[in-house]
Structure 1
Amino acid sequence: MTGLRFSALAAVALLAALNGCKGETAGNDPVSEHGMAVRPVTVTTADGKAHIFKSEVAANEAQQQQGLMYRPRLAPDAGMLFAPYPPDGGPPRAASFWMENTPNALDIIFIRADGTIATIGENAVPLSRAKVESGEPIAAVLEIAGGRAAELGIAAGDKVTWK
């Protein structure tokens, strides 16, 4: 009986490992080709329209430092969520981002601890070291394709949610 139980446990472990290879995390979030969890991030505008972005979650310092550098393109419904920001889980603080090694214009959406948008750095210049600043303490950042915020009517004060 012990051998059978061991085999059953080994089979369960093997299935769990194989499931991990299908691109899912332990929490069943899909995983991007870059090894980050992918979650829907919803931006609800003042007029009540909800816009959903399939966002990679840059949750640790290494992922946040890499960000979207070297990515050839970002789909219109894609994004990258830097959460928590800062990655050490400390209290919200002012942030500045730059676009070095990032070949695509991005809208950088700075999010307060209450989930509202503080500011948006629209169409940040590709490959630039110029700082794009939050202007106040923030708890998360969402990067989306450059020009999408204006196209969708996303503005300061709108609400951003994710799981």
Structure 2
Amino acid sequence: MRTNQKLTQKLFALALFIYPALALAQVNIGLPIIELKAGIYRIQAELADTPKAREVGLMNRTSMPTNSGMLFVFEQKAGHCFWMHNTKIPLSIAFIADDGRIVNIEEMQAKTTNNHCPKAAIRFALEMNKQWFPDRVIVPGSVISGLPKKQVYWSKSALSRPLSYPQPPAQFL
């Protein structure tokens, strides 16, 4: 009986130690995916289109497939800056204007808190594995196609419904 009580106490203490660590180790799971194109390259991009999804971003990931990334979608054009706190993989980020043109590209080191900012107000940012853009000669001025259009935004979450669905009638909103 005493052994069970000690074991229970140890497990409880371990749980108290591990639980906060798990809470901090946030990962975006189940985000919608959109296909983008950069020149001849197809990109499978997870959509970070809510404040929480944008806050977590690619934190705590240990790898990402070659032609995969994360598209950050903002409701307002602004100088949205990024950092790499709790991001375990080095990334490249392309800051993208509404017309799909890349404004600038930044290389970002893992686990740093340096700010990486666009050179103009943007609504989109695309994170890919480090060197993805330069390795494919995708430079500022290149176009990313397949971005969600502004009229798709019928709620606070840009893509709370699949892109292929029309806007629901007003009585259903």
Same fold (TM over 0.5): yes
- Matches of 1:119 and 1:38, distance apart in 2: 23
- Matches of 1:156 and 1:139, distance apart in 2: 16
Pairs within 5 Å for 1:3-152: 34-44=29-39, 50-83=40-73, 85=74, 89-90=75-76, 92-122=77-107, 124-152=108-136
SS in 2 for 1:132: coil
Larger Rg: 2
Kindly indicate whether the alpha-carbon contact (under 8 Å) linking 1:96 and 1:134 is maintained by their aligned counterparts in 2. yes
- Matches of 1:94 and 1:111, distance apart in 2: 11
- Matches of 2:94 and 2:64, distance apart in 1: 15
TM-score (norm 1): 0.71
Q: State the Cα RMSD in Å.
A: 1.2
Question: Cα deviation per residue 1:101-140 (whole Å; 9 max; x = unaligned)?
Answer: 0011100010011110000012x01000000111210110
Residue 52 of structure 1 deviates from its aligned partner by 1.0
- Matches of 1:102 and 1:114, distance apart in 2: 29
* Unaligned runs of at least 5 residues, structure 1: 1-32, 45-49
- Matches of 2:116 and 2:62, distance apart in 1: 21
Count, aligned residues:
120
Give the match for residue 155 of structure 1: 139
